[in-house]
Structure 1
Amino acid sequence: MSRERKRFLVVVSGILLLALAGMASLASRSEKTTGPSKKKEAVKRKEITVEKFEIYDSIRGRRIPYALFRPKRAPGDSDSIRLVIFSHGYGANYPRNYLNYSYLTKRLAREGFWTLSIQHELEGDSLIPQTGIIQVVRMPFWKRGEENILFVLNHFRETNPELVIQSLDLIGHSNGGDMSVLTARDYPGLIRKVITLDNLRMPFPLCANPQFSSLRSTDKTADAGVLPVAASCDSLGIRIIQLKSITHNQMNDEGTRKQKKQINTYIQKILEDRI
């Protein structure tokens, strides 16, 4: 073999060794970068606890199932909590409707909100009227929901006397949104914020406190007078948000991942005063 050829092979070998060393170095740096990132992501996804209860209101002779979604507590955690009470949409007495919004209730718990989700309908209840003056014939059903909300709240306080409720917010879908609006109208000093998912019947009170917001579907229109006119919304801080590509019946766990993300993002921003 000629001297020139030997020299050429030595140079090529050196270049190959340098290239391999560089690739190894890049791989090592890549592993060091992704490791902490994954760990940070895991820490961000807080562990939560889900507990189911069934309590009895002896005055009304009515049982009330509800679920508590909360972040797992550790020694030294603050006793001051942010509480949300969620009310489901009408389900013709389907007994597990209060568990059918887990994408929302679990997300709230991961973000630090203790969330009570109440079952408002029981098997054997009268179905809500579909005819007549709706705001009149459905008022007894909304009042029953209001009583459920107050009863569950009192039960929660009695069974968790060490906790201090820093803020109380109401969220409700459709008929559950109507009863949430009614509760806030009747007990304005109790509630910080109300967020409805496409409530259609119960008018928003014209007030700045509590603060009212509503996420609207693409296929339903609220009755006249339910949502304030734009000028009133501007002056009172009421937020009416039109969602994209989400129908009324896609606001529970039946919605797509993208739809759920859109709803959760808006709710989180409203609760944290970022919108």
Structure 2
Amino acid sequence: MKRGISIFASLSALLVVGYFTATKWAIRHETLTFYDPARDNRPVAVDIAVRWDKEMQANAGMITLPVAILNHGNTVKFTEYSFLANVFAFRGYIVISIQHDLPTDPPMVTKVGELYVGRQPQYLRGVANIRFAVEEMKKVQPNADYNHLTMVGHSAGADISMYFAKLHPDQIKKVVTLDNLRVPFLTDGRFKILSFRSKDPAFKTDPGVIPPEGVREKSGIEVVQTTFQHNDMRDTGPDEAKASIKGILDKFLQDDSPLTPAEIKAQPEMADPGPVTPYVPVAPTPEMGKRVGSASSAVAAQQ
């Protein structure tokens, strides 16, 4: 009888340890919507992913959370990259996935011969969304490092990530792209870049976007050529693709050693985006930054 009680107690202890171990690594997701008064109260929905234990430590003032900004592709919701968000959250980041497009926004079009085939307005809108969301998130979670962002994105969201890094390099820690097709890589070596490339005949990378191998080696750029389709790089993609991406991404995040600026001659230049940025600082008012939970009201992006 005593032996049975002893075995039961041991099993109970294992279950308790297992429970708290699982809970320790649990990732919390929360969706909020902010309203930008500088742009006619434009709604900017965000999905927050963070590990429970890391969030509690941050709230207690014990740590400062690193921040990852996740940008979705066209026609894809901001909540459809949880497999990526969870990798960052597992590594201790607070992840902010932003809904960039609204049904009322003009459709994205291709204009051959124009800068980024005419998609610069969408990239500028994405930059404005990121800047506004970051300012609002400072109120939600002040114990996070918003001065050194890791930018992450797929397709058009990857171009937004690279474009934001171009405009605000001093705020960037790392960049992770999945098939940025229009905006060229930055090659000054100020931060590390990891890029996954699809093998998809329907999605062609513009000339000059990916720098030559020699430039990549000097600049801290790692390009991973995959066998996956462009649209495999999101939650609806096959498990094989997501597992491969997660594994490589996790190893990339393990290495936080800083880079030194690369000495590169005749590196490709990105076109000047111009002085216009659709973001105007506004003095705080009681109505600013009103947050409304909207987990069930995510909107689809426009093509």
- Tell me if structure 2 keeps the 8 A contact 1:82–1:166: no
- Which of residues 63, 86, 89 is equivalent to 2:73? 89
- Per mean C-alpha deviation after superposition, the further-off stretch among 56-65 and 168-177 is 56-65
- Which of residues 65, 87, 97 is equivalent to 1:107? 87
Opposite residue 51 of structure 2, the aligned amino acid is P
Partner Cα separation in structure 1 for residue 223 and residue 159 of structure 2: 15
Q: Pairwise mapping of residues 108-187 of structure 1 onto structure 2 (< 5 A)?
A: 108-133=88-113, 135-165=116-146, 167-187=148-168
Post-superposition Cα deviations, 1:222-251, rounded to whole Å, max 9, x if no partner, equal 1100011111101111111112x3110111
Opposite residue 49 of structure 1, the aligned amino acid is R
Question: Aligned-pair distance for 1:183?
Answer: 0.4
Gaps of 5+ in 1: 1-27
The share of aligned pairs that are identical, in percent, is 29
- Which of residues 190, 198, 216 is equivalent to 1:233? 216
- Which of residues 266, 269, 272 is equivalent to 2:248? 266
Question: Aligned-pair distance for 1:165?
Answer: 4.7
Post-superposition Cα deviations, 1:181-229, rounded to whole Å, max 9, x if no partner, equal 0100110010111110011011112210122221111114311000111
Q: 1:64 to 1:166 in 2, by over 3 A?
A: closer
- Tell me if structure 1 keeps the 8 A contact 2:45–2:98: yes
SS at match of 1:39: helix
Q: Counterpart of 2:235? A: 253
Give TM-score, length-normalised by structure 1.
Answer: 0.79
Opposite residue 161 of structure 1, the aligned amino acid is P
Q: 1:206 to 1:274 in 2, by over 3 A?
A: closer
Q: Counterpart of 2:288? A: none
Question: Aligned-pair distance for 1:110?
Answer: 2.5
Partner Cα separation in structure 1 for residue 250 and residue 134 of structure 2: 22
- Per mean C-alpha deviation after superposition, the further-off stretch among 178-187 and 162-171 is 162-171
Question: Aligned-pair distance for 1:77?
Answer: 6.7
Partner Cα separation in structure 2 for residue 153 and residue 193 of structure 1: 16
- Tell me if structure 1 keeps the 8 A contact 2:191–2:220: no
Q: 1:172 to 1:159 in 2, by over 3 A?
A: same
Opposite residue 106 of structure 1, the aligned amino acid is N
SS at match of 1:115: strand
Gaps of 5+ in 2: 1-6, 258-303
Partner Cα separation in structure 1 for residue 256 and residue 47 of structure 2: 28
Q: Counterpart of 1:63? A: 43
Post-superposition Cα deviations, 1:73-108, rounded to whole Å, max 9, x if no partner, equal 3365733111100000111xx6xx001111221232
Post-superposition Cα deviations, 1:107-137, rounded to whole Å, max 9, x if no partner, equal 3222321100000110121111123235151
SS at match of 1:67: strand
- Which of residues 39, 43, 46 is equivalent to 2:25? 46
- Tell me if structure 1 keeps the 8 A contact 2:73–2:155: yes
Give 1 or 2 for the bigger CA radius of gyration: 1
Post-superposition Cα deviations, 1:161-198, rounded to whole Å, max 9, x if no partner, equal 34445842000000000011010011001011111001
* Higher RCO structure, 1 or 2 (CA under 8 Å, sep 6+): 2
- Tell me if structure 2 keeps the 8 A contact 1:45–1:110: no
SS at match of 1:218: coil
Q: 1:106 to 1:140 in 2, by over 3 A?
A: same
Opposite residue 259 of structure 1, the aligned amino acid is A
SS at match of 2:38: coil
Partner Cα separation in structure 2 for residue 152 and residue 133 of structure 1: 32
- Tell me if structure 1 keeps the 8 A contact 2:70–2:98: yes
Opposite residue 132 of structure 1, the aligned amino acid is V
- Which of residues 212, 217, 221 is equivalent to 2:193? 212
Question: Aligned-pair distance for 1:255?
Answer: 1.1
Opposite residue 180 of structure 1, the aligned amino acid is S
Aligned alpha-carbon RMSD (Å): 2.6
* Higher percent of residues as helix: 1
